[in-house]
Amino acid sequence: MSTPSTNPAGPWPRCPEAAAYFHELFADFANQNPLIAQLAQRFADEAGVDILALVDHWILPPSDGLIEKWEALGLVKTTLPEGDEVWEHPGARLPRLRIKAKRTTPCLALGVENISEFAAKNDLAIEACHGDDDSGYQCAHLTLPHGELMPIVRIGYQGFAPQTRPDGLEAVRTDFANRPRTDDEAVSIAAAQELFEKHVKTLGLGRATEEFFAAERAYYLARNTAARWQYARQEAIGIGWANHDHHTYRCSRAAFPALIRLFVAMGFLCRERFYAGAEAGWGAQVLEHTESRVVIFADVDIAPEELDLDFASVELAPRTTLGTIGLWCALHGSSIAKAGMHHIECEFLCQRVKDDAIAAGFGVMAPFTDLPMLWQAFTVGEPWQVPSERLAPLVAAGQLTSEQAEKFATVGALGSHLEILQRWEGFKGFNKTAVSNIIRDTDARLAP
Q: Residue ranges of the domains in the chain?
A: 16-154, 169-446
What was the pLDDT predicted at 445? 74
Four-way CATH pick for 16-154: 3.40.50.300, 1.10.10.10, 1.10.287.4070, 3.10.180.50: 3.10.180.50
Q: How far apart are CA 149 and CA 133, in angstroms?
A: 18
Q: What tens digit of pLDDT does each residue of 210-248 get?
A: 999 999 999 999 999 999 999 999 999 999 999 999 999
| pLDDT for the residue numbered 438 | 62
pLDDT at residue 441 in the model: 66
**What is the predicted pLDDT for the residue at 303?**
81
pLDDT tens by residue, 415-424: 999 999 999 9
The pLDDT assigned to 314 comes to: 84
Which mean pLDDT values do the consecutive 10-residue runs of the chain (448 residues) have?
Answer: 42 94 98 98 98 98 97 97 96 97 97 98 97 97 98 97 96 97 95 97 96 98 98 98 97 95 95 69 89 95 79 82 92 97 97 98 94 95 93 94 94 96 95 64 69
- Cα-Cα-Cα-Cα torsion 1, 286, 273, 327, nearest 10 degrees, comes to -90
- What is the DSSP secondary structure assignment for residue 156, as one 8-state letter? S
- Encode burial over 344-379: b for 16+ CB neighbours within 10 A, e otherwise: bbbbbbbebbbebbeeeebebbebbbeeebbbbbbb
- Using DSSP bridges, classify how beta strands 76-79 and 85-88 pair: parallel, antiparallel or unpaired: antiparallel
CA distances for 274 relative to 42, 222, 287, 310, angstroms = 37, 29, 12, 10
Helical H runs in 50-204?
Answer: 66-72, 115-121, 169-177, 185-203
CATH class label, 169-446: alpha beta
Q: What percent of the chain has pLDDT over 70?
A: 93
pLDDT of residue 433: 66
Distances (CA, A) of 128 to 55, 135, 140, 144, 239: 20, 16, 6, 14, 19
Torsion (CA) 36, 42, 45, 51 in degrees, nearest 10 = -50
pLDDT at res. 283: 84
The residue among 436, 322, 447 whose CA lies nearest residue 381 is: 447
